[in-house]
Each structure stands twice: as C-alpha cells, then as structure tokens.
Amino acid sequence: LIGLGSTPEIHSIQFEGHTLKVFNHKRVTVEMTPMTFTTALMKPSATGKFLISCEIHSHQTAGMNAFFTVDNCPEPVVAPIPDKRNVIRDDEEEEEDEDNMISIVFKQGGPVSVLRSSAKGRPKVWVHYIAAEEMDWDYSSQSAAGSEWFRKGPQRLGGVYKKVAFVEYTDKTFTKKKTTGKMLMGPELRGEVGDKFQIVFKNMASRPFNLYPNGLTSVQPLKNTNKDKPVDLRSLDVPPGEIMMYLWKLTAEDGPTEADPRCLTRLYQSMVDPIRDVASGLVGPLIICKSQSLDKRGRVVTSDKEKKLLFTVFDENRSWYFEENMKKNSEDPTKIDRNDPDFYNSNVMHTVNGFMFNHLQFRMCVGDVILWHVASIGIQNNFLSVYFTGNTFERDKTYGTVLTLFPMTGDTVTSEVEMLGEWEVSAFDPSLKQRGMSVRYTVVNCERVLPVVDNQDYDDELNEFIEQNFPIPRGTMEKDRTIAVHVCRNRTVTDSAIGRENMSSDTERQNRTRVCEIRYIPIKRENDLDVLSQGGIPQDILDQLDGEMSGNSLEQNKALTGEHQNMNIKVRNRRELWSVSKDKINKVDAKVQNNNEVLKDSGSSGLKQDNMEENLNLHSYDYKDPKKFQPDLESVLEPVSNSSDNQTYGRKSLVSDYDDYGDEGNNVGIRSTESRFRSYYIAAEEIMWDYGINKPAQLIKPRDMRRGMRKYFPAYKKVVFRAYQDRDFKHPIKRGELDEHLGIMGPVLKAEINDVLTVVFKNLASRPYSFHLHGVYDKTQGSFSPGTGPEGTKAEQVPGDPVPPGEERVYNWRISRRQGPSASEFDCKAGAYYSDVNMEKDINSGLIGPMLICRPGILRPRDLLQPDVMDFFLLFTTFDERKSWYLDYNTRKFCTPPCQAKVDDPWFEMSNKFAAINGYVSETLPGLIVEQYRTARWHLLNVGSQGEFHAIHFHGLPFGVGKNQEHRMGKIHRALLTLATKSNPSLARLELSGSINAWMGSGTDSWLQVDLLRPMLLHGIRTQGAKTSMGLSEYFTILYTVSYSIDQENWTTYRGNSTKSSYTFNGNMDGSRIKENLFSPPIVGRYIRIHPLTFQKQPTLRIELLGCDLNSCSMPLGMERRLIPSSSISASSFLNKWLLSWSPDLARLHQEGRANAWRPKTNNPHEWLQVDFLSVKRVTGVVTQGARSVLKPMIVTEFTVSISNDGHKWSSVKEQGTDSEKIFEGNSEHDEEALNVFDPPLFARFIRIHPKGWVNDIALRLEFLGCDTQPFERK
C-alpha cells in the first residue's frame, strides 16, 4: 500500500470481510499518510467480491473505492505423514489440567487482591439478545463548562436529542433489560478465538436497521434457508418489528497475534446507511481476545478492571431523527438557517461513551491493572490523539501517554495505576477537549480488608476447586476456615536467644528483639467471616491465643515450630490469607515499606496480651511459572512493617500480555540505585522572533514565498522558556553548538530513571503561565478540592497551575520506570514540557521545550551527554500568530494607522501561519550539523492542533563529508588573514619555516582571524608555537578559545559540550610540536577567530584548519552566476521567433526575460544542449527548470545525459550494472527546480542533456553541481 498526496490528508484503508497483518499486528484498517509505504498480509477465507475502501467519509463519497475478488483455487491435498516420535501411550500419566486451576495473586504494596478465575477452557457460544431501541438522550450535564453548548435559542436545539441505541435484553421475549442503567453506546460483546456469537437482533425502532461487526471474517445468518444463494448481511436491513438472528465466528484470522495485546478492540454497528446509522447512535464495542483469556463469565483473567472509552463524534445533522429533533426542540423550525456554520457545529457532539464534560467518571485503586478499550468513532477526516494524564499506559512494550487513533478504529492498552488523585482521559487537542471530549478517573488508596473472593460465585468456584484437589478433614469442609496468623512480640535480650526455623528476629533496640511466628487457626465460617470483612479479629483467634499465652511461652513456641513446618507443606489448603492486627488493620505505606517497624513497648519479658500484635499476614506466591504453585517461604517469614501511614496492598501478576518488565536488565528499582538530584532554573521570558526570515518583505521573491518565506509583520513578540545558571535568574545560560538547533524551544531537561528532577520556574513574562511536564506526574498533580492538594499542598503550587508574573515555583518529580524508555526502545526517550494555562494559546505563543529521560548510567555525569551520540530535537508544528496571546500587541506595534489588518482576511491568515521546524521556516534552521560516522539520534515532536500531522522525510542527498577528507588551507591568500595587533598575520601557517615564521600577539586581547571566503564546515584545528632562530626561547599558546561568524558582525563563541559559556582548548606545551583539537560538534563559519588565554611569553600561533565545503562537491559550477561563459554553451539548434531568440546561452537557472531559456528549433528527441567546463570537473548533479511563453508552460519531463573529455567521443550515462541508457526525471512545473544526482559522480569536460519527454515545447534552464577534480580522481 502506497500513500501519496500533495495535500495533508490521511487514509484508513479497509478490506471488506478480511483482516490484515501489518508489522506482526492484526488490523482491520491500515492507516496511511502521504509518502508512506506499508506491506500488509491477508489470508482470504471466503470466496466472493469484496470492497476496498478508505474509511474517511469524504474519500468514500469522492470515489476512493475498488473491488477485489476471491476465487476458489483448489490444490491437491496431501495427507500428513504421522510422526511416530509423538505416539501417545496409554500408560503415560495424565498431566494436570491447568485450565481448572483458580489463581489467587498477591503483590506487596498494593490493594487486597481479588480472585482471578481461570480461563474457561473450551470454546463457547455467547448468546445475546439485542434490540435497536429509540430513546431521548440528554448530552447536557450539570457542569458549567458545557452550559454554552446546550442552551436553547433561535439557532440552538439544546442538549436533548432523539436517538436510537443497541440495548441488550435477558431473553428472546425482549421484556427485561440486562442492565438497568441508560446507555447510549451498545453493550460490550466479548469473545475469544474459537468462540461464536449467536446474536438475536430485534428492530424495535421506527425504521430499518441491522447489526454488523467490523473485523470478522465469518458472519452468517443463524438460519439460512437458501444456502446456494449467499446473503449480504452487511447491507441487509431488518424492518421495524422484525427479528434477525446472526452467527458470528471468531476465527484465528480475527484474533490477536503474539505481538498484539491480549484483546483487540473492534466495533459493531448498523450498516444500512453507515454514516447516518452511526450518527443516530447505533454503534458498540466488540472485544476479540486470545484463546484462554476469558473466564466463564467473559471477563479477562489477567486484569483487575476493564474500561471502554468510545470517543465518538455524533453529527446530529446527519441523524435519521434530525427533522424530528428540530420540530421538537425549536420554537419555529422554519426560521432556522441550516446553512449557518454555528448552527451546524452546535449539533455536533464530541462525547466519550455518549457523555460530555467529565460527566462519565471512574474510580479505581492504586495498583489496579486496567485494560482500556479505546476507539474513535465518527465521520471526521482527522485522527484523534487521546491523552492519558496521571498514569502512563503500555502499548507494544513501550510506555506512553498519548494514543493516536484513526476514524472508526480501536486499540487496547494496559495501565497499572500508581498515582493518587483525580485525572483525565481526554482529547489532546484543546479545541476538542473544550467541547466536552473528556472523562475523569479517580485513583484512591483502598484502605479496606475485603475477602480475596470478590463475590459468592467466585467463592463457590474456589470451594469446588479446593474440595476436588486437596483433601480436607471431614467436619471442617463447610463449617471452618483456616487463617494464617503472623504473631509478633517484643522480648528482652534474655528471652530472645531462641533458634527456630520458623521465627524471624529483628533487633529494635539494644535490649529488645522482635520475635514473629506463623500460626494457623481454624475459625467458624458463619460468624467470624463477617468480623473479618469489617476489619476485626474473630473471637476464635483471640480465644486460642489467650489459652496458649497462659502457659509457658517458650515451650509453646517450640511446639509451634513443628506445627508450622507441617503447615507449610499443606499451605495449599489455606482458604484465605489476611493481614490485620489486633486493634486495627496493619498499614504499610508504599514509600516506606520495609523501612520502619513500630512495635509496642513492654515493661516485662513475660508475654501479655497488651503488647501482642497478631498479624494475619498475606503470603506471596510467585506465578511466573504457572506450574509452580508453591509458597514463597521467605515472604511467609518476613516481618510485616507496621506504619501509621496509608497502606497500599498489591499483587504479583499472572504471566499475561501485561508485562511489568520484571526480568528486564534495565529494571532498576528505587532502592537498587542511588537517586541523583538534577536541578534546572527555567524562566518564561518575552522576546521578538522572526521565524528565520531576515529579508524585508519587498525583497522576498514569489517562489520563496511559496516555500513559506512570508510574514505579515517584520517580527513577532513571543514568550519562550530559557535556562539560567542559578536561582537569582540574572545569568542566562548561553546556547552552544549542541543546542543551537533548538530554536524557539526551551532547554533540554535531562534525567535518568529514579532521578529526582527539580525545576525552579520563574515567570518573567507579562501574563500568567505554567510549567507542565508531559507524561511525568507526582501525587500533587491530581485534581482535588479547590484551594488544596493532597496532604495540605496549596493548589497554586501544583505543577501546571498558573504562576503570576514575577513569581516563581519549585517543582519536584521522581522519574519512574514507566516514564522512561522500555527494553524495546532506545537508551533515551524524548518528551516535552509546556505551559497549559491555555495550551493552544500558550504553545502558539512559544512556550514549549524538549525533555529526555534515559536509563540509569547512560548520561555522562559531567555534561549529561551520551558518549558517541548526537541528540537532535525537532518540533514540527504550525505556529498560528492569530492564536497567540500577543496578537493585539503585534498588531499595535507593526500595523501603522490606519491599520488595515483584518483577522478574517485570507492573506492575514496565511501570512501569520508558520509551518516551522523549531520555529524556523524555509530551511533556515541553524545548528543541524551531524558528524560523519557518529550516531545521530533524532527526537521528533509534534503538538499541533486538530488535523495537523506530518510525514517526516529525511532526504538522502549527497553531503560533503563522504570521505572524511581534511582540506588543508595552507594556500589562503594573505589578505584573508587579519588580526587585532600590528604583527603580520600571514605568518600564522602550520610548519612555516624561516627566521620569522609565526604570528605573535601582544597580550590577552590579541586574536587571530581567518577568512575562508565562503562558509565552510570545520571539524578541527591544529596549532603550533615557535622558537627563536637560535632555539634559545620558545613561544606558544597554552589555552585558547575559538569564535566564528558568517557575516563578521554576529560572532559565536564555540561552546561544544562544555557546561560553561565557552570551551577552552588545550594548546601547546612547547614551540615545535603540533597539537590537534577537534570541534565536536563541527561548526559552520566563514570567519574564524582564535583568542589566546594563557601563553608562554607572548601569544604565538601557527595554525591549520581542518574541514571541507558545506556540501563537499555539490557547489554550483557557474551557469546561474555566469562563471561559465556563453561561448561554452552550445546546442543542436535553437529557435528564432519574431524578435525573440531562445539561444543556448539563455539556459541558465532562474534566467529572466521574455526569452529566458534554451528552446530547439523543433521538438524531437534528437536535440541536445552542451556545456564546456573548459577543464575536467567532478559533476555530482544537475538542477533543471522549465520556462513559460506568454501563458504556455514548457517543461522537459525526461532526459538522458552523455559526457566527453574531448568533444568528439561521447558516452551515455548508463543504469548502474546494465548497458541501458539511464532516463532522468525532469520537471513537473515550469518554474520549480528538479534535482537529479549523479551517483557515482561524472568526470568530464563536456556534458550534454538530451530531452526525451516534454510538455508543450522543449524549454530548458539548468545548473550543474560539482567541484574541481584532483589529479588522482581523473586518473
């Protein structure tokens, strides 16, 4: 599949009735953007004629459709040869069926675990009774934010619309609904590979509808009376009052691959008229899971909770009930102007599951594993970016915060919630979020002790499992349960010297030890379980412990040792495992877990009930290998921390699609490495910005304007993030060569996993701004009651909240593993920070910067760089100055009265939009200099508004470091060497001989300057001192700095990777030896200055600069600049017409005039244009251009090339490895350039261009690229 296009557009390609495998992922649609190429694998399973279409509605209606046919092509079937090595013997022992296992999973530091049932085992037929039912749906909510959208008026219909929805019933009578709540989205249909859906669909609406799935290959009527004639269920409508029964089969082609998540998110809908049916409400989620993923009730066995988020744009203007809604909700429908854009937009609802403005809310516990089923529904032509705040999600073994979805597609991601507070899942685009496309979820610390069995059904299932697999003494099966009790007491030193295998002893003070032991006590089923569920300790336990404590505790403890060892063998019998204390629930804070143990002090060594702590401890089991159902004895005997802070119980998860990277090499816990503290001082300050357009508007050529070099005002006031050295905010950090490319963006914030990142943010601008770290959160950022955050944190100190002008805030984040790179990513992962007081206006005003999070130990401590890697950050976004906070200021400053600027003027809009990279347009971004053979890592960022997307293409054009040659500059003309003293600078040449053989300055203010005549790429410098003629004295420069310039007016001091404002080079230590220093990164400059800092006697230098041309051998050879004389340009013929002559010497790039190109006398493929370079040149490319005569454009679309060294013997340029003449592609527009590269380069004096294809007439203007050749190259 090939995606092309000259305009920004996306495609969502679907093959009807089939699924595709793309990059080892199963897809119903394939997403494409311009200049993208994808290979998809399809395995047809049914014969017939199927539609290929783009799911973008505007593309469908424009005709982007095709059909493909699947035929039955029988092949001979060869019976498989039996494998005698795998014969099943009758006497082999039958393995235990793991499908019947029920798993209880625990993890230290999270909420009390719930029972996770085993997979259901065999394929199942899921029966659903679904009706299409009409209802009145109220989009409005109690939120004040949405009141504007739902007001009634002459051109508004309010928030209540008649719709139709899929509603599930309990049986075929369609009298009792399966759920009591009123929902707009259809019920969730869930199955796994091998299952079947039996759908009984009843149309209870007033017009025909149907029900059809997306992404299933086998959809049949349950009862097909005419099997010879296939039925197209996709378009078959069900009349009102009728019933249709479907049979859907979930085949292996429909299900997830190994690389996919455990379940895929698909959709089902009515397909009678897909656009209007969905706009009316008939759509719902379809979940397809891997085999052995669901339990008997259809729940995923490896997640705590599942949430579906259907981001749906309901266009009520296209609903079947729009006319009825107008009559019902409007006072006078005849007065409504349907062509009014505001009226149309007021009827377009941006919802999540049919709700708007956070009306839909979820609640979950810290440590819960959430399976999010997310889909984008509607006829919009743009993709949707869904932003998960607070907690990251996992997708394709990587962590993220933004999920991108194309129209009518879905995805499944997993998240383990860690951060307390109230958070949002919303559209990242501010305009969509402001229209209500957001939901809220709350993460709480679940301080409760609930049974590990979450309901009676699972309780019965566990009973059945234990009774079948483990023998339990009669009489205790129904009446009793066994509790594991962790008994701890304080003892004096004289009592603590007891060695027991089942006890752990920790010294609290010099004269006290803590002794713990495990006890197993049966309790009564009927009464004591109620006490447990309420957090208390059953009386059975207290009575038995009281009786045991009345005797000799030492003897009883000895007896307990043997009992505990026996019980460890039978630990499978333990029905419930708890962690409580006598007085209250034992609480462990996730942060200080295992650090503090608070024990009650006892005045005597005797064991009394007052100083006893009976801890019913959770046992931890390791389920990485499902066959190992063994207790972790170390976890059993580990003392339980007792803290007064909140407890967070957790679990050790089953092996599943949710991989917590527990075995990764880069999995570094908080306690496994020392945390580093990294501090940044960032200010928001206002500047003037010109987007790299330095020319006055009247000097910009039309062709440059078409390339984006246009602006309405000379410059624009903007606000940017800038770094300072300390908290005084008086000394800004100057940018060096490594940061020059950042442009308008702020400094790079760098940190490693487990680091504590501190940002001191000061607002030096004139209005409130904020500092928001995208994807990195701490507990202070959840939304709480107005005015306060958690634990008394003031709301104005929360990251992301507005900071008034002149004030500062200090923010701290601990970088967690999920916020950094995963095992499948590079060593470092890019992110961004920005102001989000009003994100759209703040970013268009300039407040955004990059962030880099790396694995521990990757960054070099002294400069936070990764050795041998160059990092480049590129922000692709369109800055719209009309959405900037400073639009009024810029208009007042630059628009002279009477100002004619109008915001709605098309020219004002176009010339105030800047499609920029890092704030620079039209190839003006500086600092993108990559060292040859050094790894360059490109971090690409995009934070554009709705509909803005970019297909980034790195063009493979030749660049001037191909052979890494060092161009020595010993022959520079003397007049090009200048200096700030009166000594002769022309002597500053490396290894110059003679009695006076070096430049000598007068002091620290002296400098040596070199003019290279044109900008060059420099990657090193060699320096040398000097000796007197008798060799008695030596003069040399020990330390120096380097500065460079393009125009000799704006100078930059080389900084390199130094953390200071300039890089100090180590020079010479004597007057004769040569010292070489490299520029890393390289620099681009025409004028180079060397500034001696310390020296022996006087600053003395002999130098050599190492580098090459900017484009090495891709410089223009002189056609346009007329360095090639007219006498060197000839042709087979040329056209003389009236008073115009289209002679060969006019074939110069960008030649102007009425006759401005070479045209032959006749248009035929035997014409040619010849150029004589006068000497052999190394020619690396040619740039061609057409022309125009009156209103007729003329271009050469194809041509061939031949070369000669004497003008007589000619050879054609051939396709590499063949004898075929190479055809070069010419122009498509008469005024645009087309570049063709000669690879390998051509070595010739004469060159000819032979036009082979043209439009209207042959017309040619051109420029050759290359350089002078060396003798060995010619040879």
* pLDDT tens digits, 301-325: 877 788 999 999 999 999 999 999 9
pLDDT, position 763 = 96
Q: Give the integer Cα–Cα distance in Å for 213 and 250.
A: 11
What would the pLDDT profile of 183-192 be if each residue is shown by its tens digit? 899 999 999 9
Task: Return left, alpha or beta for 794; rule: phi > 0 is left, psi -120 to 50 is alpha, else beta.
Answer: beta
Give the span between the Cα atoms of 876 and 99, in whole angstroms.
51
Buried b (16+ CB within 10 A) or exposed e, 790-813: eeeeeeeebbbbbbeeeeebebeb
CB neighbours of 1097 closer than 8 A, spacing ≥ 6? 1033, 1034, 1035
Q: Give CA–CA dist 775/784, Å, rounded.
A: 19
Q: Phi and psi for 1055 in degrees, rounded to 5?
A: -110, -35
CA neighbor of 1027 nearest in space, from 1097, 938, 957: 1097
DSSP annotation string for 142-202: S-GGGGGGG-EETTEE-SEEEEEEEEEESSTT--SBS-SS--SSPPPEEEETT-EEEEEEE
Nearest one of 94, 102, 121 to 469, comparing CA atoms: 102
- Taking alpha carbons only, the member of 4, 44, 103 closest to residue 651 is 103
Exposure string for 968-997, b = 16+ CB within 10 A, e = fewer: ebeebeeeebebbbebebbbbbbebeeeeb
Burial of 94 (0-12, 13-18, 19+ CB in 10 A): exposed
Question: Which amino acid type is present at position 360?
Answer: L
Question: What does the alpha-carbon distance between residue 686 and residue 731 come to, in Å, rounded to a whole number?
Answer: 16
Name the residue type at position 160.
V
Residues in the chain, overall count: 1275
Alpha helices of 453-587 — where are they, by DSSP H? 456-469, 493-496, 525-533, 539-549, 553-569
Structural contact between residues 227 and 220, judged by C-beta atoms closer than 8 angstroms: no
Supply the DSSP symbol for 609.
S
Q: Please classify residue 660 by burial: count the beta carbons closer than 10 Å to its beta carbon, then call 0-12 exposed, 13-18 middle and 19+ buried.
A: middle
Neighbours of 455 (CB within 10 A): 11
Distance CA 850, CA 256 (A): 35
| 291: Cα within 13 Å, side-chain hemisphere | 10
Distance in angstroms (rounded) separating the CA atoms of residues 365 and 419: 10
Burial of 325 (0-12, 13-18, 19+ CB in 10 A): buried
Cα separation of 1241 and 1178, whole Å? Answer: 6
Q: Where would I find the H helices in 895-971?
A: 906-910
Q: Tokens 């004619």 map to which residue?
A: 900
pLDDT computed for residue 780 by the predictor: 53
CB 1024 within 8 A of CB 989: no
Paired sense of beta strands 11-15 and 29-32, if any: antiparallel
Map out the domains of the chain with their CATH numbers.
Answer: 2-70 (2.60.40.420), 125-444 (2.60.40.420), 456-637 (no CATH), 677-941 (2.60.40.420), 974-1108 (2.60.120.260), 1115-1274 (2.60.120.260)
Residue 943 half-sphere exposure toward CB, CA atoms < 13 A: 27
455: left (phi over 0), alpha (psi -120 to 50) or beta: beta
Rounded to whole angstroms, the Cα distance separating 891 from 897 reads 10
Tokens of residue 951, six digits: 């297909």
> How many C-alpha atoms does 329 have within 13 Å on its Cβ side?
23
* Residues contacting residue 100 through CB under 8 Å, at least 6 positions apart: 118, 121, 465, 468
How far apart, in whole angstroms, are the C-alpha atoms of residue 187 and residue 933? 57
According to DSSP, residue 764 is labeled: -
Per-residue pLDDT tens over the stretch 8-31: 778 888 888 888 888 788 888 888
Please answer whether residues 485 and 521 qualify as being in contact, where contact means their C-beta atoms are separated by less than 8 angstroms: yes
DSSP characters over 39-73: --B----S-EEEEEEESSHHHHHTT-EEEEEE---
The type of residue at 198 is: Q
256 alpha-carbon distance from chain centroid: 22
Q: Which is nearest to 807 in space by CA: 762, 867, 776, 843?
A: 762
Of 1023, 985, 1024, the residue nearest 1002 (C-alpha): 985
> How many other CB atoms sit within 10 Å of the CB of residue 1007?
21
Q: Look at residue 456 in the predicted model and tell me its pLDDT.
A: 40
**Bridge partners (DSSP) listed for residue 939:** 873
Burial class from Cβ neighbours inside 10 Å (0-12, 13-18, 19+) for residue 742 reads: buried
Yes or no: say if 216 and 254 are a contact pair by the CB < 8 Å rule: yes
Is residue 19 within 8 Å of 257, Cβ to Cβ?
A: no
* CA-wise closest residue to 999 among 972, 977, 1021, 1018: 977
- Say how far apart CA 75 and CA 137 lie, in whole Å: 55
CA atoms within 13 A on the CB side of 1044: 24
Relative to beta strand 243-249, strand 218-221 is antiparallel
Cβ count near 743 (within 10 Å): 23
With both helix axes pointing from N to C terminus, report the angle between 525-533 and 539-549 in degrees, rounded to the nearest 10: 100
The closest of 379, 26, 75 to 215, measured between CA atoms, is 26
- pLDDT-flagged residues of the chain (< 70): 76-121, 141-147, 225-229, 447-675, 697-699, 706-708, 778-800, 932-933, 944-948, 953-997, 1029-1031, 1109-1112, 1270-1275
Residue 956, judged by CB atoms within 10 A of its CB (0-12, 13-18, 19+), counts as exposed
> To which residue do tokens 């030896």 refer?
1073
Closest CA to 1212 of 1255, 1235, 1244: 1244
Could you identify the residue written with the tokens 């208009």?
A: 891
Structure tokens at 147: 């009141």
Find out whether 381 and 275 touch, Cβ atoms under 8 Å. no
Q: Which of 631, 479, 607, 503 is nearest to 564 (CA)?
A: 503
